[in-house]
Amino acid sequence: MIVTAAELFKVAYGRFAVGAYNINNMEQTHGLFRGAIQSQSPFVIQISRGARKYADKRMLEAMIRAAETIYPDAVFVVHLDHGDEATCYDCIDSGFYSSVMIDASHEPFEKNVEITRRVVERAHAKGVSVEAELGMLGGVEEDIKVEDGHACLTDPDQAKEFVQLTGCDSLACAIGTSHGAYKFKGRQSIHFDVLEKIQQRLPGFPLVMHGSSSVPQSEIMRINAAGGKLDPSACGVNDDEYLPAAKLGVTKINIDTDGRLVWTRVHREYFRDHPEDFDFRGPGRVFMTEYANFIASRSEKLGSKNTL
């Protein structure tokens, strides 16, 4: 069953965080739905502009509609990840997406407000929820690369003003995480002090944490042992911090990189161990099972297990 983010977040707020996972293909989709059912957890299925180009947006929609009938017990939000204004309108008008993210966080405050307000108006007229972003994460966000020195944490007072001015349903905050596999150099972690201030100013309002993959060291090592060349300094968010963040209002936690690492590890190991094989269904089956288990493990860390 497809639900809106606003509905789901009302149930989750302060209790647990909802995992938000990107999909680009059939194997990820099966794995995600299976893992969510296995752990009795609601989830957000996220589609980026890159995914819509890669697979064709119609293919993704058909696949998710099929998954809905294959897994009738699944409860999920269909969400556009890091949308620009035009893509938000395309998704709102499609009647398929129940949530969109307008990411104008690279614009000055007033312009971000102006763009977000327009999207909120069009989305709410059709019952679609809107996630907006204030502040800038480091790393690569879609086609925009933010150098480490230019990332800036969300200002708590501005966050309150932004939400009041725009009417958005949730807010992605920059609290120290970044996209990709190389998040922290040295001691950094989630800035809980900033998060707490944001929650104090926006009590009850759902916050979103992007760049939340945990980048397990074991995955990096297995990928490299099977022929990969990932930088061993790769490092992610401590997944024991998901629940403390959820208690401070983080209601949606975005995880994409970790799934890519599972895919890469499974495929590298499979072809290393079966050099005579060329049937892609071999590693595909392993990946779907491994990804389902990974999703179920996230449900535990997010506190969303057994909440359906």
- Catalytic residue annotation: 81
Q: Which residue stretch of 126-134, 151-159, 251-259, 297-305 sits at the interface with ligand 13P (rule: CB under 6 A)?
A: 251-259
105 burial via Cβ count (<10 Å: 0-12, 13-18, 19+)? buried
The site map against ligand G3H for 81-100 (x = CB under 6 A) is: xx------------------
CA distance 247 to 268: 38
* 98 versus 177: smaller Cβ distance to ligand G3H: 177
Q: Which residue stretch of 67-75, 147-155, 250-258, 278-286 sits at the interface with ligand 13P (rule: CB under 6 A)?
A: 250-258
Q: Are 202 and 163 in contact (CB under 8 A)?
A: yes
| Cα distances (angstroms) measured from residue 171 to each of 167, 206, 253 | 10, 7, 12
Tell the smallest beta-carbon distance from residue 293 to Na ion (Å).
24
The site map against ligand 13P for 1-40 (x = CB under 6 A) is: ---------------------x------------------
| Cα distances (angstroms) measured from residue 4 to each of 10, 94, 98, 128 | 10, 15, 5, 7
Q: List, as residue ranges, the binding site for dihydroxyacetone phosphate.
A: 180, 211-213, 254-257
Q: Which of 179, 197, 267, 301 binds ligand 13P (CB under 6 A)?
A: 179
Residue 174 within binding range of ligand G3H, rule CB under 6 A: no
Residue 105 within binding range of ligand 13P, rule CB under 6 A: no
* 141 versus 239: smaller Cβ distance to ligand G3H: 141
Residue 213 within binding range of ligand 13P, rule CB under 6 A: yes
Tell the smallest beta-carbon distance from residue 270 to ligand 13P (Å).
23
How does DSSP classify residue 56? I
Residue 142 within binding range of ligand G3H, rule CB under 6 A: yes
CA distance 212 to 137: 11
The pair of three-digit structure tokens given for residue 238, joined into one six-digit string: 């401590």
Residue 254 within binding range of ligand 13P, rule CB under 6 A: yes
Per-residue exposure over 276-303, b if at least 16 CB sit within 10 Å of its own CB, e if not: eeeeeeebbebbbebbbbbbbbbbebbb
Nearest position to Na ion, beta carbon: 101
Those residues with Cβ within 8 angstroms of residue 31's Cβ, 6 or more apart along the chain or in another chain? 287, 288, 289, 290, 291, 292, 294, 295
CA distance 24 to 56: 9
Q: Which residue stretch of 13-21, 48-56, 147-155, 287-295 sits at the interface with ligand G3H (rule: CB under 6 A)?
A: 48-56
Residues at the interface with ligand G3H (CB under 6 A): 22, 48, 50-51, 81-82, 141-142, 179, 256
Residues at the interface with Zn ion (CB under 5 A): 210
